[in-house]
Structure 1
């Protein structure tokens, strides 16, 4: 009986790692869209595909969760982690989608900096997720703290971006478009922080 359960446990951790890899690829595609405005449509399509793959993977993990009698970590933590990872990718994809929808072809300096924060958070998550199975507090927590620090940077950038946006002579409609973009970027950093918080909770329970 126990031998039958062990592969299921390993599959959860492997699927978490796959989800983190999709997130890293999504952050890179978002960064490429910002760094190469002329090819933003191409990278937006790539992010759309990654987001679809993420949805499929989320479904697979939740389906496995429903079928598993025993799980390596608490069910509610698996569900919360999977949802947070999916949300991260959703918000990244929403940024490029809105860039196309609004016809914003020249990213601002604030957008570039916020996207860089997301890329760094995704890189940390990509390192973090494979470490969960070991439940080693001393290895996991530094990455959680760095993700949290980066989220604070994202908050600061949002405040600065909005202050700059509202003090200028930009057309009101353009202001609304950029505010929407900035809000989605900042929410993406929040969702990455949620991932770190859930992982920290898991390791405190099991470490």
Structure 2
């Protein structure tokens, strides 16, 4: 089944979902938050990426429901699609919290989080490109890198929380910073979920 040269619509669908996540993650990385009005525009743009992701997921589900045969287990296809989209949902939700708090104080910890999340989305796209080429074994290197980036985010989270409780005296600011750090750490966990799903697919199909 993996010898066919014809593009597979399910693998193409996963690649499109991954690319949408990549675009959203890199948009968040490249955005500069200095005013509340800028924050609102960023949130609107992120919402558009999330909406596009929901549409791509729906299209994939329709294909799965209409197809008798799939190149790998349909549960694996759907699981990978949803876990990819979770990353984008997490980013959009975090930006929404920035807007909710009218919070424009982006620090280096936050920038580092988003940088690793964007890098993880880049690796996810590379993995889906290899999946389209039926190169399952080649996908593993990208899953490994995503896990490496998640470990970096674990370290950022520990350092940021430690510093927060040592330095911040304002309880409201402490709550806001802690909430945002926890959300960013959760997005990194979503990236790791993608890597774990990729490795499970490799194990069952390579």
Note whether the superposition's TM-score is higher than 0.5.
Answer: yes
CA offset digits 1:65-103 (Å, max 9, x no partner): 112111111121112101101111100101111111111
Q: Under a length normalisation based on structure 1, what TM-score does the superposition of the two structures give?
A: 0.91
Structure 1 residue 40 displacement after superposition: 3.0
Distance 2:12 2:136 in 1: 19
8 Å Cα contact 1:121/1:147 also seen in 2 = yes
8 Å Cα contact 2:12/2:132 also seen in 1 = no
Q: Under a length normalisation based on structure 2, what TM-score does the superposition of the two structures give?
A: 0.91
Per the alignment, in what secondary structure is the counterpart of residue 170 of structure 1?
coil
Structure 1 residue 135 displacement after superposition: 4.0
* Superposed CA RMSD: 1.9
CA offset digits 1:93-116 (Å, max 9, x no partner): 011111111111120111111111
In the alignment, which residue of structure 1 is the partner of 2:84?
85
Distance 1:14 1:95 in 2: 28
Describe how 1:135-154 pairs up with structure 2 within 5 A.
Answer: 135-154=134-153
Extract unaligned runs of 5+ from structure 2. Answer: none
In the alignment, which residue of structure 2 is the partner of 1:164?
163
1:13 aligns with 2:19: no
Extract unaligned runs of 5+ from structure 1. Answer: none
Distance 2:167 2:127 in 1: 41
Distance 2:137 2:60 in 1: 27
1:30 aligns with 2:13: no
8 Å Cα contact 1:30/1:44 also seen in 2 = no
1:44 aligns with 2:43: yes
Structure 1 residue 37 displacement after superposition: 3.0
Structure 1 residue 205 displacement after superposition: 1.6
Change (3 A) 1:170 1:22: farther
Q: Which runs of 4+ in 1 moved over 4 A?
A: none
More helix per residue: 1
